[in-house]
Each structure stands twice: as C-alpha cells, then as structure tokens.
Structure 1
Amino acid sequence: MTTKGPTVRTVLGDIAPGRLGVCDSHDHLFIRSPTLPGQELDDPEAAAVELGAFAELGGQAVVQWTPWGMGRRLAELPELSRKSGVHVVGATGMHQAKHYDPAVLKGAYDGLARLFISELTTGPVRAGIIKIAGAYHRLDRHAEHVLAAAAEAHHATGAPIGVHLEAGSAALDVIGALSERHGVPPGSVILGHLHRFPDSRVHRQVAEAGAFVAFDGPSRAHHATDWRLLDAIAALAEAGHADRLLLGGDTVTASARSTADGPGMPFLLGGIRPRIERELGPDLATAVFVDNPARAFAVDWRS
C-alpha cells in the first residue's frame, strides 16, 4: 500500500510541500475581535489588494491564523487564493477568551475537539492548522481547555498546532503541556511571537526541543523589539537551529495594512527579506521563507 506522503492543506486542496514556495507563515486576511473595535479586517477587496501586493514581491503562500469564531471568512479564501495565485492555508482552533462573546464561548466548549477535527477534515474548504493561545506567562483555565482539545485534534488528524504566546511568554510551559501531558511532538508545534520576548536562551530551548520558532509581526507601532529581530535570527542560526525559524507579518488591524498606515504583509519581502539576504546570507533567507514553512505545515494527514 502506498501513501501520498506529507502535504500542505490549503483552502484549494492539499499540495506537495515543494509547491508552497515563499511563505508568510503567520498572517491575517480577515479577523474580528471585540478587543479591536473599528479595526476589523472584513473587507474582501482590501484583502485582495494586500495579497496582490505580497504576490508582486514574490510571495507564494500565506498561512492565515484566524481561528474559529473570529470572522475568518473561510468560504471566501479560495477565491482570493485563485485570483492572486497565492496558496492560502486556513485555521481552525480558538484564541484567548477575551476575543469571544462569553455566551458563544460557553456554548463552544462542549465538543471543541470534534469541531477542530471536523474543520480540518470535512467540508468544501478545510483548515490546515490549529490555532490556540496562551495567557501572559502562564496557561490559564481557558488555555488549558483549548490546548487539550487541540492536542486531541492533532492526534486524530496530524495537523500542526500554532500557538499565540502572549507577549512571547510561557513558551516552555506550552511545549511542556503539549508534549509531556498530551503527547504532541514538538515538531508539530509552531510558537508565535517569540520576538516579543527576546530571550535567546528561551529561543534556543524551544528550538532544541524541536518546535518551530516564529518571529511574526514586524514593525508594529507598539513593538519595541524590532531592532533585535536580525540578531535573534542570527543567534538561532549560529546555534545550529536555522531549520526551526519561521517569519510572518501578523497583520491584525486595518490600519496596519500596507494600503493604510502600516507595513502590512508585503513588508516581509520588501523590507525584512533583503536585510536577511544582505546581512545573514541568501541561504538563510531561503530556509526561513521557503524550506522551513514547507516542513512546518506539511502533514501526513490521518483523515
């Protein structure tokens, strides 16, 4: 009996990892939250313009980390992907409790793992990643509940788990909970926002454990660690962990888009990639934008 091997599950279907290409490993085309009133990403035309600008700079894939219940508009992603020529990976999962109406949240707790599994394996548009979130320097009760459901869904499907780390904190707690308590291999885990917690020792420990280290969200107005980004990348590469690095834009507000006041999705390729190529070398840039995403998001899908 033969198997098709690892594939990346995009909104247009499964593709071979080698077809993913230059990838923004964490971003948002659509997102809505009560914590961001008036800044929702809910305009398909604006999303298409942003995706087109990314494609013009050589972008070939975007992983949208917007989970269930946050206006991800999963059904509209295939058309955006077709028109732009950019592969799009969608997400299931659940963010921090503050992003949901309490009544909706309470009703969703029962059968959460079944919801994740269903969205990964059924329907015309399937998710290709599970998005969860920690709390600041800890895993609160909500995070523990969602993490357990994500682990169950991973074991049922093989799907990778992407984790929002609040201010980049609690990385080792998350790895410990997923791998030691729930048996999720670290290689199936992507820890986001570690650039916001610029502790190179923690970064190395995460990489040594086998998880992927995501530096995502460059040049937001309220981030004070952008100037450390290349040093953080260089430190991991010099420690032998270039194969664990991912980069993403994490655009979460309308004003952060390149068509508004922010650097947006294209900045990864127009601003960050040239600096990596010039200062750290083209091989490292290829690893971060092409080779590593192809491994991080490829799965031997179980269903």
Structure 2
Amino acid sequence: MSATIRTVLGDIPPEEFGTCDAHDHLFISSPTLPGQELDDAQAALAELDIFAALGGRAVVQWTPWGMGPRTEELPGLSRQSGVHIISATGMHQAKHYDPGELERLHGGLADLFIRELTNAPVKAGMIKVAGAYHRLDDHTRHVMAAAAEAHHATDAPIGVHLEAGTAALDVLDLLCGTHGVAPHRVVLGHLHRFPDTRIHRQAAEAGAFLAFDGPSRVHHGTDWRMLDSLAVLAEAGHAHQILLGADTVTPTARSSADGPGMPFLLSGLRPRIERELGPELASAIFTENPARAFAVRWRQP
C-alpha cells in the first residue's frame, strides 16, 4: 500500500503536498486564553491566501479535539485557498478542558482518536498530544498511551507539544520505548523554546522529526537561536528530519493584524535559511520533510 497524506479533502500522494507550514492553527480556543480565540473563518482564509501567494501549498492544523478546531469549515477553506490542510485529533494538556469532560472520555480516548482519523465526515491526518513542563504528568501519560494505541491501529503520526520545548527525550522514551511507536512517526514540537542542541541531536539520533514551530510568536526569547539550532542538526546529518511551522494561536499574531503570522515562514524565514544555510536545506525543511513526516500507510481498524 502506498503512503498518502490525509487532508481534509481526502488522501493525496506526498508529491502533491508542496511547500508546507508544518504546525499552525486556523482555529483554536482555550479557557486559558479567554477572548483570544481564533474563530474567524474570513481571517483564516485571508491568512491562507497570503501564504498561498508566497508559494505555500499545505498547512498542518495541530488543534486537537475539544479546542475549537472548527473541522467542518476546513474543507471550504482548503477549496477556496487552494492550500492542502491536515486536521488533527488528539488532546492537549488538562488545563485546556473541563474536568468533567475529561472524566467522561477517560476510558475512550483511543476510540475517539481512531474514529476521528478513519470515520469522521472530515478525517484527521495526525494525532496531537502534549507534555508538561520538564515532566510527564498522569494526564499526559494517559493521553499518550491512547495516542499510541490509535497510532498502532492506523499508522497516524503523533505530533507532540513540548511545553517550553522540554521533556523531549522523556516523550520518546514513553511513546517509542514503552508503547512501541516507531520514532519516525513522532514529531516533536517547540524545540526552539529549549535550545539545547545536545538534546536536539539526541532526539534526531533516535529517529524523530523535530519541529521548530512558533517563530512568529511574540516574546519568545530563544527565536534568535533557531538558525543556529538548524545548522547544528544539518551538520550532524539530520537535515531530513527538520520541520518548521508558525504556530499562530491568537488573532494579534496573524499577518492581517500586523503580526508575522503564517506568511512569515516564507517571507522572512525561508529567504534567511536559503541565504545562510543553503537552498537544499530550505527545500528539505519546507517541502520534502513534511511530505515524509505526514505520509501514512493508512490502516483501517
């Protein structure tokens, strides 16, 4: 069976995916960010249109279950913009949810993830999970076990929010060591927030994809070290494992609100990477690596 990428308009071959923002949000909401929801479809379309005009062809929305992903609106946005969109299932940290809802779903998380990956009106193409700050709490461990079960049933990739970029090796030990997920099916996110290049190299040596996602976010004091981190990985032979995404999570971060937003990846970062690290690395990061990271030999449980 050939590997395909599951977009909101259906499965496509990896070679059709194109230049990709590998971690972003068109819609998202959380009680931790009251009044800062991304819930405007026209604003999402405007961001996609600017991204497409710069050569962008694909976006991976990491908004998981229960955080306002507005999944039903994604196919229309994809058709109107011409941009491929991957939707996510999964679950974030407990603080983003009502405790009663978490209790209700506790025993059925894997079934929920599998259903959204294989049997929903708009199917997800990845699973999103999240670690805690420098540790894996009980909620994280439970969600990751369910994600691993769903992965084994479907082969879907698992994207991991690393809180402040921490606990990367603990996550790999849990998902890959304890639960048997193949390392190349894991995408570790937010590594630039904890710019320890030794840990980055160890995670890459284990076989995971490494996502540096959020350079458009305001007040991230480590962003200036991102290109140095990419250079270290490339020089160590891991250029084929690097991904980049904008991770826009508030309206003010969008380009339409004078933030860098999704377009900054192609208008700001890509030219710098091409100039300072070489066009081959830029092509790998923005096109070749995402196509491999999100291509799946889908199984139907």
Work out whether the TM-score is over 0.5.
Answer: yes
Q: 2:168 aligns with which of 171, 175, 199?
A: 171
Deviations 1:228-255 (A, max 9, x none): 0111111100000000100000000011
Hey, what's the Cα distance between the residues in 2 that align with 1:86 and 1:267? 16
Hey, what's the Cα distance between the residues in 1 that align with 2:10 and 2:108? 26
Match of 1:148 in 2: 145
Matched letter for residue 118 of structure 2:
T
Shift of 1:6: 0.3
Match of 2:27 in 1: 30
Deviations 1:143-197 (A, max 9, x none): 0000000000000000000000000000000000011100001000000000000
Hey, what's the Cα distance between the residues in 1 that align with 2:36 and 2:271? 30
Match of 2:219 in 1: 222
Shift of 1:100: 0.7
Match of 1:113 in 2: 110
TM-score w.r.t. length of structure 1: 0.98
Q: How does 1:29-68 map to 2 (within 5 A)?
A: 29-68=26-65
Hey, what's the Cα distance between the residues in 2 that align with 1:43 and 1:199? 37
Hey, what's the Cα distance between the residues in 1 that align with 2:216 and 2:228? 15
Match of 2:254 in 1: 257
Q: Which moved more, 1:60-69 or 1:255-264?
A: 255-264
Match of 1:194 in 2: 191
Unaligned runs of at least 5 residues, structure 2 = none
**Number of positions where the alignment pairs a residue of Structure 1 with one of Structure 2:** 300
Q: 2:181 aligns with which of 160, 184, 187?
A: 184
Hey, what's the Cα distance between the residues in 1 that align with 2:217 and 2:76? 28
TM-score w.r.t. length of structure 2: 0.99
Contact 2:25–2:247 (CA under 8 A) maintained in structure 1: yes
Q: How does 1:79-118 map to 2 (within 5 A)?
A: 79-118=76-115
Contact 2:273–2:279 (CA under 8 A) maintained in structure 1: yes
Hey, what's the Cα distance between the residues in 2 that align with 1:9 and 1:240? 29
Hey, what's the Cα distance between the residues in 2 that align with 1:74 and 1:178? 26
* 1:138 and 2:135 correspond: yes
Contact 2:216–2:248 (CA under 8 A) maintained in structure 1: no
Matched letter for residue 274 of structure 2:
E
Shift of 1:110: 2.0
Deviations 1:71-116 (A, max 9, x none): 0001110000000000000000000001111112211212100000
Q: 1:231 aligns with which of 208, 228, 233?
A: 228
Give me the CA root mean square deviation. Answer: 0.6
Hey, what's the Cα distance between the residues in 1 that align with 2:288 and 2:165? 24
